[in-house]
Amino acid sequence: MNRRSGACLRCCLVIFAVVSALCVCGPAFYSKFNKGFKLKGVSSSCSPCICHCAPSQSLLHIAPGLANLSVSDCGKDDPDLKEEMEKQFVDLLAEELKLLKHVGEEHSKHMNITLGEARRLATQYQREADKCIAATETCEGARERAQALLTREKRLTLLWERRARLLGWEP
Question: Could you give the CA distance from residue 125 to residue 129 in angstroms, rounded to a whole number?
Answer: 6
88 vs 96: which has the higher pLDDT: 96
Mean pLDDT of 136-145: 95
Question: Could you give the CA distance from residue 90 to residue 119 in angstroms, rounded to a whole number?
Answer: 43
Question: Could you give the CA distance from residue 97 to residue 90 in angstroms, rounded to a whole number?
Answer: 11
Considering the chain, what is the average pLDDT of its residues?
82
* Region at 53 (left for phi over 0; alpha for psi -120 to 50; beta for the rest): beta
Q: pTM value?
A: 0.36
How distant, in Å, are the alpha carbons of 68, 81, 85, 137 from that of 74? Answer: 11, 10, 11, 78
Q: How many CB atoms lie within 10 A of CB 75?
A: 13
Q: Please, which pLDDT band fits residue 22 given cuts at 50, 70 and 90? A: confident
